């Protein structure tokens, strides 16, 4: 066993030629440190960020393309967008270990740090969705004046654009670490989080939807998003196996990911929505509502379980060493 010194480009290839890792670890001690995040708090934020971000997207789209019958959808979408700025940011500050210095996040903007990127996405989303929702509130209370509806529509556009970031940047936040399970498949994780956000927002909005014409449309959007999430989840699990990190799912968090996020959050509602669509417009309300609740619960469980399983992957040296074998090096 004799590692050669070579140029950086072929270091990985050169390493492959030499001895295989025999599974030895340093007394089974962790090689990495797991993130010091509180999984319920940060997982809760990721859920709310996706829900709010995608709700703002749907509100803007319904405003532009949905016609008059979508007025309630637009209004509730704008209000739902407030969840991340109001509750989500409070959760983030709570999770800091020196919370009184939260404003130091605003000192810099760094493209190498998804937490810095996310800070600025959250700031711009909060400002635009806040103004949009405030104008919406003004037009709800004083329907006779016109400027507020117009203001809500104008600020709804930047809110939707920032909302796209809110729906999915949290996957980059996890992927751009050395935690094996999070880093194993950056693209598939981002698609899964983005699709879950869209499904959650469409489901939440369908729960209070008064129009029988709009609710099936929201159910259709949920269905498309869930199908996307299912494909992303399959690709993700394939990558977990290939990168050697699947053992981290053999944990309570891994079982939550399987039973909660996938079965309850994707498979069950997809089935319910299919039955509901086949059943026609009679008796579809109950099934659709049940599906919406399952999607929301699954979307929250997805984030919490991925956080937890990531911690397991960082704490297990067999998983982290398998992940950092030369064969897993990015191809150039």
Partner 1 sequence: MNFHPRTLEHTQSDLDHVIPNESELTAGTLIEPGKSYGFFTDTTVCIGCKACEVACKEWNNLPADNLGMTGQSFDNTGALSANTWRHVAFVEKKGGCGVRADIETPYQSGWLMMSDVCKHCHNAPCLEACPTGALFKTEFDTVVVQQDICNGCGYCVPACPFGVVDLSANDGKAHKCTLCYDRLKGGLEPACAKSCPTDSIQFGELEILQARAQERVEHLHQRGVTDAYLYGTPGAPGSTGGLGHLNAFFLLTDRPEVYNLPVAPTRPANRVKPSLISGLAAVAGLALAATIVLASQERR
Contact positions with partner 1 (CB under 8 A) in 101-130: 101-102, 104-105, 107-108, 110-117, 119
Q: Does 305 bind partner 1 (CB under 8 A)?
A: no
Q: Please identify, among the stretches 58-66, 124-132, 247-255, 260-268, the one whose residues bind partner 1 according to the rule CB under 8 A.
A: 58-66
Handedness of CA 114, 115, 118, 120 (dihedral sign): negative
Q: Do 230 and 256 form a contact (C-beta atoms < 8 A)?
A: no
* Helices 39-65 & 284-315 angle (0-180, nearest 10): 140
Report the nearest approach of partner 1 to the CB of residue 320 (Å). 7
Nearer to partner 1, 224 or 293 (CB): 224
Nearer to partner 1, 134 or 318 (CB): 318
Instruction: Enumerate the H helices of the chain as residue ranges.
Output: 11-16, 39-65, 71-80, 83, 89-95, 114-141, 147-175, 180-183, 186-207, 215-242, 252-256, 268-278, 284-315, 317-323
Nearer to partner 1, 110 or 283 (CB): 110
Q: Which of 17, 65, 141, 331 binds partner 1 (CB under 8 A)?
A: 65
The residues near 141 (Cβ < 8 Å, ≥ 6 apart) are: none
Enumerate residues 187-246 that contact partner 1 by CB under 8 A.
Answer: 187-191, 193-195, 197-198, 202, 213-214, 216-217, 220-221, 224-225, 228, 232
Q: Does 66 bind partner 1 (CB under 8 A)?
A: yes
Per-residue x/- track, 250-289, partner 1 (CB under 8 A): -------------------------------x--------
d(CA 51, CA 85): 11
Q: Which of 78, 169, 244, 268 binds partner 1 (CB under 8 A)?
A: 169
Nearer to partner 1, 85 or 310 (CB): 310
Q: Does 15 bind partner 1 (CB under 8 A)?
A: yes
- DSSP for 109-148? --TT-HHHHHHHHHHHHHHHHHHHHHHHHHHHH-TT-SHH
């Amino acid at each position: 066993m004799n590692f050669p010194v070579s140029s950086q480009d072929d270091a990985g290839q050169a390493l492959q030629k030499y001895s295989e890792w025999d599974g030895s670890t340093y007394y089974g001690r962790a090689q990495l440190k797991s993130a010091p995040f509180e999984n319920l708090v940060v997982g809760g934020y990721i859920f709310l960020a996706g829900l709010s971000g995608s709700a703002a997207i749907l509100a803007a789209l319904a405003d532009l393309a949905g016609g008059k019958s979508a007025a309630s959808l637009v209004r509730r979408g704008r209000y739902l967008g407030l969840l991340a700025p109001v509750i989500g940011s409070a959760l983030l500050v709570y999770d800091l270990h020196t919370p009184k210095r939260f404003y130091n996040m605003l000192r810099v903007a760094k493209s190498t740090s998804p937490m810095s990127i996310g800070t600025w996405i959250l700031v711009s989303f909060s400002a635009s969705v806040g103004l949009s929702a405030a104008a919406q509130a003004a037009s709800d209370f004083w329907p006779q004046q016109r400027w507020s509806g117009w203001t809500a529509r104008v600020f709804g556009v930047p809110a939707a654009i920032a909302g796209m970031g809110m729906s999915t940047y949290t996957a980059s936040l996890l992927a751009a670490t050395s935690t094996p399970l999070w880093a194993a498949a950056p693209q598939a994780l981002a698609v899964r989080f983005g699709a879950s956000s869209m499904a959650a927002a469409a489901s939440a909005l369908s729960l209070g939807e008064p129009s029988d014409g709009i609710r099936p449309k929201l159910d259709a959007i949920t269905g498309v998003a869930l199908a996307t999430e299912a494909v992303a989840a399959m690709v993700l699990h394939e990558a977990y196996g290939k990168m050697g990190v699947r053992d981290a799912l053999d944990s309570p968090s891994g079982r939550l990911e399987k039973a909660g996020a996938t079965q309850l959050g994707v498979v069950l509602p997809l089935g319910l929505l299919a039955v509901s669509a086949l059943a026609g417009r009679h008796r579809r309300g109950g099934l659709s509502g049940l599906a919406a609740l399952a999607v929301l619960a699954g979307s929250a469980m997805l984030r919490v379980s991925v956080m937890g399983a990531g911690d397991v992957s960082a704490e297990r040296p067999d998983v982290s060493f398998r992940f950092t074998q030369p064969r897993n090096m990015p191809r150039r």
